[in-house]
Amino acid sequence: MLVVELISGRTLDQGATVEEKLSEEYSKAVNYIELSEEDFKSLGLKEGDRVKISTEFGSVVVFAKKGEIPKGLAFIPMGPYANAVIDPATDGTGMPQFKGVMAKIEKTEEKVKTVRELLEAI
């Protein structure tokens, strides 16, 4: 188990598939988390492994990837997987905190849900 600061954001793949939300391509574009090489290793992960992200606001299972990102920080593409765990508080601005949420990451054997299953689970 590892605690990281989670940020979400756009990627080219997410943008290129955003008008095809029910496709497998879109799901693939947004259903992963990028961890630093060090954090990736410390969890004993290999490419394609799944991790469970848990925050105060929910949990979600995604694929783990190594990314060019500082240790202790993790990136997840914006979308339904990210939104299962980000902070919905807007501090009066209307904007939830999509970036900067503390998250627990652990290796899991649970499966990655489809976007339909994610919606059903809400």
Partner 1 sequence: MEDVICTFCGSVCDDGEFDAEKKKVKKFCRLGSAKFSEKERIKAPMVDGKEVSYETAIEKAAEILVNAKKPLLYGWASTANEAIRLGVILAEKLRGVYDQCASVCHAPGTLAVIEEGLPGATLGSVKNRADVVVFWGSNPAEAHPRHGMRYSISAKGLLIKDRKQRKVVVFDVRPTKTAKMADLFIQVKPGYDYAVISALRAILSGNADVVPSEVGGVAKEKLLQLAEMMKNAKYGAIFYGLGVTQSRGRDRNVENAIKLIQLLNRTTRWIIWPMRGHYNVVGAGEVPAWEVGYQYAIDFSRGYPRFSPAEFSAVEVLKRKDCDAALIVASDPAAHFPAAAVKHLKQIPVIQIDPFPNMTTLLAKVVIPSAVYGIEAEGTAYRMDGIPLRVKKILETSYWTDEKILEEILKRVEKLKG
* Beta-carbon contacts of residue 93 (< 8 Å; ≥ 6 apart): none
Is 73 a binder of partner 1 (CB under 8 A)? yes
| Least distance from partner 1 to the Cβ atom of residue 27, Å | 11
Q: Is 5 in the site for partner 1 (CB under 8 A)?
A: yes
Binding mask 24-63 for partner 1 (x = CB under 8 A): ---------------------------------xx-----
Does 9 interact with partner 1 (rule: CB under 8 A)?
A: yes
CA-CA distance, 21 to 17, in Å (whole number)? 7
CB of 89 to partner 1, least distance (A): 9
Find all residues with CB under 8 Å of 6, minimum gap 6, and list them.
33, 53, 55, 74, 75, 76, 85, 86, 99, 100, 101, 102, 103
Which letter does DSSP use for residue 31 in this model? S
Strand 73-77 relative to strand 2-9: parallel, antiparallel, unpaired?
A: parallel
The binding site for partner 1 (CB under 8 A) comprises 5, 7-12, 15-17, 19-23, 57-58, 67-70, 73, 75, 78-80, 83-84, 86-88, 90-100, 115-116, 119, 122
